[in-house]
Amino acid sequence: MLVLCFVVHLYAGEEPIKDGLVEYIGAQKRMFETGKADGVLNLKFFEGKNNLYAVGPVALLDGEITLLNSKAYVSKVRGNDYYVDNTLSHEALFLVWSQVPRWKDVSVPESITNYVQLQKFIKDQADYSGMDVSKPIPFMLIGTPVGIVWHINCDKTDGKPITRELFAKSKVIYTLKNEPVDIIGFYSERHNGIFISQYVPAIKPDSGEKNAVHMHFVSRTTKATGHIDNIILGKNMVLRLPEK
């Protein structure tokens, strides 16, 4: 009975779904269907697990979750600033993750500079390396981008049911320039509204392009960490894909 209660506490009534190299739980679109941002997974579920990489929002629109090689970086806005907590004492609104023991490096050409070009490059390189691109793909991006526009979720709904408009307002936007980062991301063309956002600032609605990535970053020099809305790549950047 004690074990059963512990599992229910971690999962909040549902279990993760495994799809190839990736696992996920919850769905962004459920927030708009229910008007709520309740948690679906306690991060203590990952305690003791190695080689873990994950991204997602904190429950109740209260921050961003990034797991980089099993270390947690949970950013939350408080007042006019934000802080980063490295414990697993948080719940996710939805989350996507993968355990990757080894990565292989691919140099990113200088001709790849923006968000749309990057996601196409990720797909092409995964396909070239023999990965099944019909399934979600974890990846990393290492280097110093020219710029990143990023956000941390911060509830500004005033207790009203969550709509797309209120969700868009419930973000604090930041910028980062010429700062070395580790980027953790997931590529998928089949999980829009689940762990891939249907709309991102980097892609214009009338462009004909669709979003296929969910990316977070961790700065190597400051406390900055959160969800990437847009990116301009820099020179000598490296894409990392799972090694077979």
Count of Cβ atoms closer than 10 Å to residue 90 Cβ = 19
Cβ atoms of 241 and 137 within 8 Å: the answer is yes
Q: Is the pLDDT of residue 5 over 50?
A: no
Q: pLDDT band at residue 163, thresholds of 50, 70 and 90?
A: very high
The per-residue pLDDT of the chain, averaged, comes to 95
Count of Cβ atoms closer than 10 Å to residue 179 Cβ = 16
pLDDT of res. 136: 98
Give, rounded to a whole angstrom, the gap between the first and last alpha carbons of the chain: 39
Give the torsion sign (CA, 113, 114, 116, 122).
Answer: positive
Which letter does DSSP use for residue 109 in this model? Answer: P
**Residues 180-237: tens digit of each pLDDT:** 999 999 999 999 999 999 889 999 988 999 999 999 999 999 999 999 999 999 999 9
pLDDT of res. 7: 41
Sequence-distant contacts of 201-209: CB under 8 A, at least 24 apart: 201/149, 201/229, 201/230, 202/114, 202/115, 202/116, 202/149, 202/229, 202/230, 202/231, 203/115, 203/116, 207/116, 209/116
Q: Structural domains in the chain?
A: 2-99 (3.30.1330), 103-242 (3.30.1330.80)
pLDDT of res. 12: 61
Q: pLDDT band at residue 244, thresholds of 50, 70 and 90?
A: confident
